[in-house]
Amino acid sequence: MKYRQLGRSGLTVSALGMGAMNLSFGTGSAVDEQTGINVLHAAVDRGITFFDTAQAYGPYTNEILIGKALSPHRNNLIIATKFGFKLENGAITGLDSRPENIRAVAEASLKSLKTDYIDLFYQHRVDPNVPIEDVAGTLGDLIKEGKIRHYGLSEAGAATIRRAHAVTPVTVIQNQYSLWTREPETEVLPVCEALGIGFVPWGPLGTGFLTGTIDTSTKFDSSTDLRANFPRFTPEAIKANMPLVSMLKDVATRKNATPVQVALAWLLAQKPWVVPIPGMDKVAYIDDNLQAIDLELSAEDLANMDTLLAGIRIQGNRLDDGLLSMSE
């Protein structure tokens, strides 16, 4: 396994992390508990040290699964979880980053994860009703108390990052970033570089689109799959965005790789402090993804891909209106 440092924080993790959400929630039905444990153990066996979960995944069930599966390996792993959603009767009903809720979620997550510290605690979405300075101050207190070791922000903009960092240094930003979601390149990545903050792309495989296994006939169950409501996953948008998949497949053929590996290798080539967290709910996905770490994309490869990407206009918003409104 190769490792990367997330910015100047000293936090060292495997070059690819594991997004654990799909084991419990998000893009299909949850796996049974033993299957989830087996997949998580396979990730550990293959050298992954960085695992991403959240209170909202399930809700709650993903953290509990992580706790059961990974507690025997706890001292060798970096576990990230998140706070910031208001949960009522097992459903997300809004945002809540009030200091008292941050503390309540931290205590609940410690219990679910079967641990006495959280390596990385993210604000899941910026809460417009709570000053980011209050959030950063509370997280700084939790660091002093030893309950968390680092904190991060998810789906935060450049100005918010700077304000938070001025109160308590931010370790990691986790925003959506991939070959078809490149918005972070404009302002967020430059701020991360300037401040020494690591960057963790979520959705690095385009929430499945960049795997090359989705086409206009693919059906998304609205009861179990968030993508059923994403504008970028309508049949019309999928058809319009297929040139991106064709480009990936062409590069993969030339590099004797898979589209998944090319998409992840492209992200890894952007900055040495970028650590993608692809969703992995099958051992086969882990084995496919990990080969991206050793896939070399030359400067010429990257330049050619950029030229081709410039001619592809991605259609459809990346998230539905509700989730977009929870992003900054």
Q: Which of 305, 240, 320, 237 is nearest to 267 (CA)?
A: 305
Residue 130's nearest CA partner among 173, 165, 101 is 101
Q: How many CA atoms are closer than 13 Å to the CA of 157, on its beta-carbon side?
A: 7
Distance CA 34, CA 9 (A): 35
Catalytic annotation on 177? no
Which of 3, 57, 177, 285 is labelled catalytic? 57
Query: What distance in Å separates the CA atoms of residue 283 and residue 144, rounded to the nearest whole number?
Result: 38
Environment class of residue 33 by beta-carbon count within 10 Å: exposed (0-12), middle (13-18) or buried (19+)? middle
Task: Give the burial string for 226-249 (b: 16+ CB within 10 Å, else e).
Answer: bbeebebbbeebbebbbebbebbe
Q: Are 205 and 263 in contact (CB under 8 A)?
A: yes
Beta bridge partners of 150: 120
Cα–chain center distance at 239: 26
- Is the backbone peptide bond immediately before 59 cis, with ω within 30 degrees of 0? yes
Q: What amino acid positions are annotated as catalytic residues?
A: 57
